[in-house]
Structure 1
C-alpha cells in the first residue's frame, strides 16, 4: 500500500529524531525540536558526529516541505510529539486531543463572527496544538500570542507554528507572572492542573489559597480574565472536578463577579483515558458595561466523537442556541 503524505513526513521526522537522539544522547522531545529546526531551515547546525550529520544532510535533500499541506505537517508533527510524550514522565507533557481543539475552535469562531480583527492568547500553550488548531478556524485577521514555561515544549510550539506558516508571538515564562501584553479578545487554554509552588507570587491573586499552595488552575483562570478585554471571551478545557474542590466557593464567587457563564460542554469519557481524567469546555464572557449573560447558558453533554449521527444532532442544537444567543 502506498503511504500517505502524513506517514512519509512522520517517518522522516521520527527517523531523523532517533538519529539525533542516538548521537546527541538527548530525550526524544528535545531531539525532535532539533529535527524540526533543521527541517524548517533546511540545514543541519553543527553536530560532532560527522557520519550522523552526513546522514541527516542527505535525508534533508530527500524531503521537500512545499509538497506537504499545513494539515499534513500538523498531523506528522503531532504524531512525533505524541510518541515523545509516551516516553515522558512529566504530567505537563500531554497534548490537547485534536477533536477537543477543533471543538474549541468551532466555539471561538461562533462567538467572534462579527469581529473584523482578533487578538488571541493561550497562556498554557504547551506544544501549540490547541492554539494553532483554533486560529486555523478563525476567518478574520488575527494577532496571536502563546506562553509556556517549559523550554522543550515552547521550542516545539514555535517550530510547529513556523512549519504551519502561522504567525504566533511566544512568551517563554511562568504564565502566572505579569506579561508585556495588552488585553486580548479571546483566551483559549487547556488548564494545567495542580498546585502552584510560588506562594509569594500567588499572594497577588484573589484566588490564592487561605493556607498552603494555591491551585494553579484557579490562578490561570484569574490571570486569563485579567488579560481579556471587557466583553471578550475565554474558552477553557477544564477538569470535571473544578467546581467540586475545597476552594470551589471562592472560584464561583470570583466568576460571578467578573464573568458571564456562556456555557459548559461536558466532553465524552471516551475522549480521555479514564473517568478520573474527565474534562469539559467552559465558555465565559468577561463582564463589561454593555454585556449580559444568556437567559439560559449552553449546557451540553457531548456523545462519543465516533458517533457521527449523535454529534451532528448535538451540533444542530448548538447552532440553534448560538443563533438565538447572538441575535
Structure 2
C-alpha cells in the first residue's frame, strides 16, 4: 500500500526522534523537540555536535501541506505521550478539537479580526485546529506552564506557519494581555497547589486546595471581552462535584450558558477521562440569555449518518437562535 503524506512525514520525524533519543538519552517527547527543531531549520541544533552525520534524512516540508504537517506532528506527540501518567500530558483528541473549531466558527461568524486565547495550550493542538477553521483571525495567544509542552507547541505552530504568541508561565497568574473575543481551552483537571495565588479567585475552595478547572474558568472569563465567547472542554463531572454550587452561582452572575455538548464515550480511552464541551458568553451591556441553550448528546464520531444528522440540527439551531 502506498504511504500517505502524513505517514511518510511521521516516519521521518519518528526516525529522527529515536536517533536523537539514543544520542541524548532523553525522553521521546524531549527528543521530539530537537527533532522538530531540526526539521524546521533544516539542520540539527549545535548540541548535537559531531552526531549530525548519523542523523537520518531531514524531510523537506515544502512537499507537505499544513494539515499533513499538523497530523504528522500530532502522531509523534501521541507516541511520546503513550503511557504518560499526567493528565495534562494527554492531547485533546483531533475529533474533539475539530468539533470545538466548528462551534468557534459558528459563534464568531459575524466578527472580524477575532482575537483568540488558550490559557492551557499544552502542545497547541486544540488551538491550531480551531484557528484553522476561523477565517477572520486576529491575534492568537496561548499560555502553558510545562516547559516540554510549550516547546512542542511553539515548534508545532512554526511548522504550520501559524503566528501564535506563547506565554511560558503558570496560567493562573496574571497575563499581560487585553481581553479577547474567544477563549478555547481543554481545562486542566485537578487541584491547584498554590493556595496563596488561589486566594485571588472567587472560585477558590473555602478550605484545602482549590480545583484548577474552576480557577481556569474564572481566569478565562477574566480575559474575555464582555459579549465574548468561551468554548471549554470540561470534565464530565464538573457540575456534580463538591464545589459545584459556587461554580453555578458564579456562572449565573458572569455568563450566559450557550450550550453543553456531551461528547461520545468512544472519544476517550477511559470513563474517568470523559469530557463535555461548555459554551459560554460573557455577560455584557448588549447580551441577553437564551431561552433554550444548545443541549446535545454527540454521537460516535465514526457514525457518519448520526453525525450529519446532529450537525444539521445544530446548524438549524445556530441559524434560529444565535441570529435573533
- Which range, TM-score by smaller chain? over 0.9
1:230 aligned residue (223, 226, 229): 226
Partner of 2:52: 53
- The alignment of Structure 1 onto Structure 2 pairs a total of residues equal to 323
1:313 aligned residue (309, 314, 318): 309
- The 3-state SS of whatever aligns with 1:92 is helix
Partner of 1:84: 80
* Counterpart Cα distance in 2 of 1:141 and 1:297: 26
Kindly indicate whether residue 29 of structure 2 is the aligned counterpart of residue 29 of structure 1.
yes
* Counterpart Cα distance in 2 of 1:244 and 1:87: 28
Give a deviation string over 1:120-142, Cα, whole Å, max 9, x none: 00000000000000000001032
- Displacement, 1:214? 0.2
Partner of 1:280: 276
* Counterpart Cα distance in 1 of 2:222 and 2:304: 38
Partner of 2:289: 293
Partner of 1:176: 172
* Counterpart Cα distance in 1 of 2:85 and 2:25: 17
Partner of 1:94: 90
TM-score, structure 2 normalization: 0.98
2:70 aligned residue (67, 74, 77): 74
2:206 aligned residue (203, 210, 214): 210
Shift in alpha-carbon separation, 1:221–1:48, aligned structure 2, 3 A: closer
TM-score, structure 1 normalization: 0.97
1:120 aligned residue (106, 111, 116): 116
Partner of 1:3: 3
Pairing 1:106-255 to 2, within 5 Å after superposition: 106-255=102-251
- The 3-state SS of whatever aligns with 1:235 is strand
* Counterpart Cα distance in 1 of 2:316 and 2:244: 31
Equivalent pair of 2:260/2:276 in contact (CA under 8 Å)? yes
Partner of 1:262: 258
Equivalent pair of 1:23/1:49 in contact (CA under 8 Å)? no
* Counterpart Cα distance in 2 of 1:142 and 1:38: 29
Kindly indicate whether residue 23 of structure 2 is the aligned counterpart of residue 16 of structure 1.
no
- The 3-state SS of whatever aligns with 2:88 is coil
Q: Which portions of structure 1, spanning 4 or more consecutive aligned residues, are displaced by more than 3 angstroms?
A: none
Partner of 1:325: 321
Give a deviation string over 1:103-135, Cα, whole Å, max 9, x none: 000000000011111100000000000000000
Equivalent pair of 2:263/2:275 in contact (CA under 8 Å)? yes
* Counterpart Cα distance in 1 of 2:210 and 2:48: 45
* Counterpart Cα distance in 1 of 2:153 and 2:143: 10
- Displacement, 1:294? 1.3
- Displacement, 1:45? 1.6
- The 3-state SS of whatever aligns with 1:103 is helix
Equivalent pair of 2:231/2:278 in contact (CA under 8 Å)? yes
- The 3-state SS of whatever aligns with 1:59 is coil
Structure 1: where are the runs of 5+ without partners?
none
Equivalent pair of 2:84/2:90 in contact (CA under 8 Å)? no
Equivalent pair of 2:88/2:188 in contact (CA under 8 Å)? yes
* Counterpart Cα distance in 2 of 1:291 and 1:86: 44
* Counterpart Cα distance in 1 of 2:145 and 2:28: 19
